[in-house]
Chains A and B, each alone.
Chain A
Amino acid sequence: MSGHNESILREPLITGKDITYAQITEEILSPVENKPNKAWWIGFILALCGATLWVVSVGYTFWFGIGSWGLNKTVGWAWDITGFVWWVGIGHAGTLISAVLLLFRQNWRNSINRSAEAMTIFAVICAATYVVSHMGRPWLAYWVLPLPNQFGSLWVNFNSPLVWDMFAISTYFSVSLLFWYTGLLPDIATIRDRATGVRKKIYTIFSFGWTGSVKTWQRFEAVSLILAGISTPLVLSVHTIVSMDFATSVIPGWHTTIFPPYFVAGAIFSGFAMVLTLLLVVRKVLGLENYITMFHIESMNKIIILTGSIVGVAYLTEFFIAWYSGSQYEQYAFINRATGPYWWAYWMMMTCNVISPQLLWFKKVRTSIAATWILSIVVNIGMWFERFVIIVTSLHRDYLPSSWTMFYPTWVDVGVFVGSIGVFFTLFLLFLRVLPSIAIAEVKMILKSASEQSKMKLIKEGHLDKEHVAEYIESLEKFDSVKQEEYAKI
């Protein structure tokens, strides 16, 4: 906080000259307080078309039943669960950024946590729609809850990972929502105090009467820390339980104990990729280059390469264990994955998840916005294929060769998936219009200690080690939002 100087060796988290608290408010709230620009409208209309496709496809599914999907009696689970796991995985980055990075005191989380958490919530909504729409009779969705026998059924099977999953996803969703909304209160109050008329009334209701008094802030920080502490194991538990949906079965290729850590790493991997896909665009379109800096982008890329490599090791371990176990079925499942009729999906997954992210070892790639953006999309594609490979290739070769078959999606399968992306973007673009995409209060907190201007001031005061200063200035070269000429003068 204020009155405490950070080491000069640390790269700045806020760039730009003469940034004031008022300017932070102004810049972050500008998309909320002004009319949207053309880019937003184009994006929103496209997203809305996708969302409409989703409504049509899911409506068609409800009317005609699950038979409208491409499932057959051998491959009984395909794009539906692939989409579900893909979205849940993407939904991991938000709470990871807000909880785990808070526990580790990573201040760079402050400018990306808000939109990452929003992304998490929308991704989990997309995942939940898959669960409901693949029930066939969605109006009986409440049967997944543990309700007593008077409803005409037994208790839910508490031994089943599908029931655990219901508990995990709903807990994750509601706790993430609480965390996100509590963090939003001070920022909603900021909008409220600047607004007039109807807008003021609306934001007054949603600001819960926030004033920013000492006690509220002190309790706010205590609550954030405890929520972070309990959300950290929660994030890890969610994808662990999702992986158990597969791991507790006896299908070759699914029945492996490596699944929980492997799925969790994959989830963080895809989540960060999606955060980058979104934020690189948001940063450019909303002009937030000073708050989401090259340091943030590079840090996220480092997490991507770490988790991507863990996923790569997991792929190889699976193969090794399949051979080492001596189980014929397991061995066949894995050889078939890589060389069977779905070889293209397997190698797509390998290339996108393991090989191409290795490019991030190069600093040039890691700090290039275009390369990062493309790689983040490649990772998203790769992670979709990972789930497809695990699910479909394990199922399409049954124990009886007579039932061996392929899976062909129908337009409804494609519509539900593409549509869910539309739903996601519709929600995200609406979020950008009505709520601040960066946590204003949290960014203000680091302005005096970790900004470029505060470090510039320190350099000008001249009590610092020359070598450290030189190293710091060199580290600024990669920043696209820093003017090097300023430093040449010193």
Chain B
Amino acid sequence: MSNIKYILGSFGDPDEMLHGIEKLKENNISIYDVYTPMPIHGIEAKLGVKRSRLDIAAFFFGITGTITMLTGVYLATVVDWPLNIGGKTHFALPDFIPITFELTILFCAFGLVGSYYASTHLFPGRAPRVMDLRATDDRFIIAIDAKTNTEHEKIDELLKGAGALEVKHNERKYVSYE
């Protein structure tokens, strides 16, 4: 058994990389992940990444903001310290629409970005789990788990055939831990 942990196909062009993904799938080779310097549209369908549910989360965060502000203002202006302003109603809803709107947006944005960071494990100081340092520059990397996909030579050939500029056999999973 070799020490190779991951096989990386390094492409210089996104279309060739998509072609490589198709080739690998035709041959029933599972793909661990793909690292690209920019978003590639249509790739998530090929790799079976599910639709994001962040929009649903965002909606509920927003609604929470709306309710928080309306409740807060009600407590302040009606329950805690009602002020008689020319005999007008204590809970003057039209006046509170701008701030309710602002708090809705604020909660929605922070909740959304917070959930995004949490779900993709992004936080300050996190050690980057990078397999190829050029994946954030000009290379499109397909990573294949070498332990579960044992036909290494065939994988190399498929990747090269699809246009990979380089195929790497990494003995360590992440190159960034140095």
Q: Of A9-17, A57-65, A199-207, which binds chain B? A: A199-207
Cβ of B63 < 8 Å from any Cβ of A? no
Interface size class of A (residues with CB under 8 A): 35 or more
Given A155-B80, A175-B109, A223-B116, are A208 and B122 also a contact pair (CB < 8 Å)?
A: yes
Which residues of chain B have C-beta atoms less than 8 A from A194's C-beta? 133, 137
- Contact indicator per residue, chain A 1-36, by CB within 8 Å of chain B (1) or not (0): 111000000000000000011100100000000000
Which residues of chain A have C-beta atoms less than 8 A from B116's C-beta? 182, 219-220, 223
Partner of A213, one of B35, B98, B103: B35
Alpha-carbon gap, A431 to B108, bound state (A) = 28
A-B contact number at CB 8 A: 202
Alpha-carbon gap, A191 to B176, bound state (A) = 13
Alpha-carbon gap, A219 to B54, bound state (A) = 8
Whether B136 lies near A216 (C-beta < 8 A) is: no
Which residues of chain A have C-beta atoms less than 8 A from B117's C-beta? 208
CB distance from B36 to the nearest CB of A (A): 5
Partner of B18, one of A3, A215, A445: A3
State the majority secondary structure of interface residues on A: helix
Tally B residues with Cβ within 8 Å of A.
Answer: 69
Alpha-carbon gap, A154 to B80, bound state (A) = 10
Alpha-carbon gap, A82 to B160, bound state (A) = 63
Whether A163 lies near B77 (C-beta < 8 A) is: no
Which residues of chain B have C-beta atoms less than 8 A from A219's C-beta? 52, 54, 116, 119-120
Which residues of chain A have C-beta atoms less than 8 A from B80's C-beta? 148-149, 155
Which residues of chain A have C-beta atoms less than 8 A from B106's C-beta? 171, 174-175
Given A208-B123, A227-B109, A227-B112, are A149 and B14 also a contact pair (CB < 8 Å)?
A: no
Of residues 26 to 57 in B, which have CB atoms within 8 Å of A's CB atoms? 33-44, 47, 49, 52, 54-55
Which residues of chain A have C-beta atoms less than 8 A from B126's C-beta? 208-209
Pairs of residues from A and B, 6 with the lowest C-beta to C-beta distance, nearest first: A209-B126, A21-B138, A22-B138, A208-B122, A222-B52, A217-B39
Contacts A2-B14, A212-B135, A220-B39 known; 8 new A-B pairs at CB < 8 A: A21-B12, A25-B138, A148-B80, A149-B81, A185-B122, A218-B39, A219-B54, A440-B37
Could you give 14 example pairs across A and B, Cβ below 8 Å? A3-B18, A25-B37, A149-B80, A154-B83, A164-B98, A164-B99, A178-B110, A190-B37, A192-B128, A193-B137, A209-B122, A209-B128, A210-B136, A445-B39
Binding site for B on A (CB under 8 A): 1-3, 20-22, 25, 146, 148-149, 154-155, 158-159, 161, 163-164, 167-168, 171, 174-175, 178-179, 182, 185-186, 189-190, 192-194, 204-223, 226-227, 230-231, 233-234, 237, 240-241, 244, 440-442, 444-445, 448
